[in-house]
Amino acid sequence: MADWTDCLNFGISVAKQASEIVLSAFQQQKEVKLKSSPADLVTETDQRVEKILISAIRNKYPEHRFIGEESVAAGECLELTDSPTWIIDPIDGTVNFVHRFPFVAISIAFTVNKQTEFGIVYSCVEDKLYHAQRGRGAYLNGQPLHASGQEDVSKCVVVTEIGAERDDLALSTMTSNIFRLLKLPVHGVRALGTAAVDMCQVATGGADAYYHIGMHCWDIAASAIIVQEAGGVIMDTDGSEFDMMSRRVIAASSSSVALCIAQVIQVFPCRRDDEDSSRCVCGVTGVNRV
């Protein structure tokens, strides 16, 4: 069986180098562009960090393929093949980055034959490096991670996001989901503004579940394996097998908690990430300063 440890170590090294760029721009004024909605932001730093990451990795592994958030936004088609593929979110939490809210992460996942071999989530301001390699455990700054194992949803802290959607159906679905969970009741609902770091809290045991509708593969591909290697479970919001292209996910401390959340939450329709027509035409529009 192939060993991808060298790729993992290279991924960690480029994530740490790219973090320096994120941190140096964090306090600066930023030129903000809009993508799919008034809350779906992108900055020059997002685009620059992605270009630097892809260029460094391609230079070392020229035969590998890439799925990058900002490359797709610029019109590249999104297709996951059996080839070794790096799935990159250069800044997860761009709204946080623009507002200097201190939760921004570089998220890098690596797949072969469409199976995730490792994931890296680097929460730059916190200097917290989460990583996991298939079959070899999950770690935070080198220390092993273990999910909480909680099986009673009424004893859970649940993390979610109100993403970039601002249409009535998405907003009413997402807010009513939070209402229904609070009425179970659960102990609490949290949102950090970055799907990748949100989901890593399930791996640390600091949260017991995370769910989201509308995020993209690059938001959660890395943190999904980190949760699984920490002993958590990952599934689709209908309780079926996790599909990183479906734009729906539940991560939890146990199957019983995940299935309970699957019964409670409702979804709104999202086009899959790998529906070529939907991914090959979007781009950036408008410009304003923040």
Ligand X SMILES: O=P(O)(O)O[C@H]1[C@H](O)[C@@H](O)[C@@H](O)[C@@H](O)[C@@H]1O
Based on the number of CB atoms within 10 Å of its own CB, is 283 exposed (0-12), middle (13-18) or buried (19 or more)?
A: exposed
Binding test (CB under 6 A) with ligand X, winner from 150, 194, 237, 253: 194
Shorter beta-carbon distance to ligand X: residue 92 or 208: 92
208 binds, among Mg ion, ligand X, none (CB under 5 to 8 A by kind): none
Q: How far apart are CA 125 and CA 101, in angstroms?
A: 9
Residues numbered 17-36 forming contacts with ligand X, rule: CB under 6 A? none
**Short-list 77, 86, 130, CA closest to 108:** 86
Contact flag: residue 219 with Mg ion (CB under 5 A): yes
3 in catalytic set: no
Active site (annotated) includes residue 89: yes
Active site residue 91: yes
Instruction: Let me know how long the chain is.
Output: 290
Residues touching ligand X, count (CB under 6 A): 14
- Please indicate if the annotation marks 275 as binding a ligand: no
Residue 219 in contact with ligand X, rule: CB under 6 A:
yes
Annotation-wise, does 91 bind a ligand? yes
Say whether residue 40 binds ligand X (CB under 6 A): yes
Catalytic residue among 46, 165, 219, 273: 219
For residues 256 and 155, give the distance between their C-alpha atoms in angstroms, rounded to a whole number: 12
> x-or-dash pattern for ligand X, window 145-184, by CB under 6 A?
----------------x-xx--------------------
CB 206 within 8 A of CB 158: no
Establish whether 45 is a catalytic residue: no
One of 40, 50, 92, 273 touching Mg ion (CB under 5 A): 92
Active site residue 219: yes
**215 contacts ligand X (rule: CB under 6 A):** yes
Nearer to Mg ion, 91 or 235 (CB): 91
Exactly one of 93, 119, 231, 232 binds ligand X (CB under 6 A); which one?
93
Residue 87 among the catalytic residues: no
Amino acid found at 165: E
- Indicate whether 94 belongs to the interface with ligand X (CB under 6 A): yes
Q: Going edge to edge, which strands form the sheet with 41-43? A: 41-43, 31-34, 285-289
Q: Which of 46, 92, 208, 273 is catalytic?
A: 92
Q: Pattern 227-266, binding to ligand X, x per CB under 6 A?
A: ----------------------------------------
Residue ranges of the annotated binding site for Mg(2+) are 69, 89, 91-92, 219
Residue ranges of the annotated binding site are 69, 89, 91-92, 219
Site residues (vs Mg ion, CB under 5 A): 69, 89, 91-92, 219
- Supply the residues annotated as catalytic: 69, 89, 91-92, 94, 219
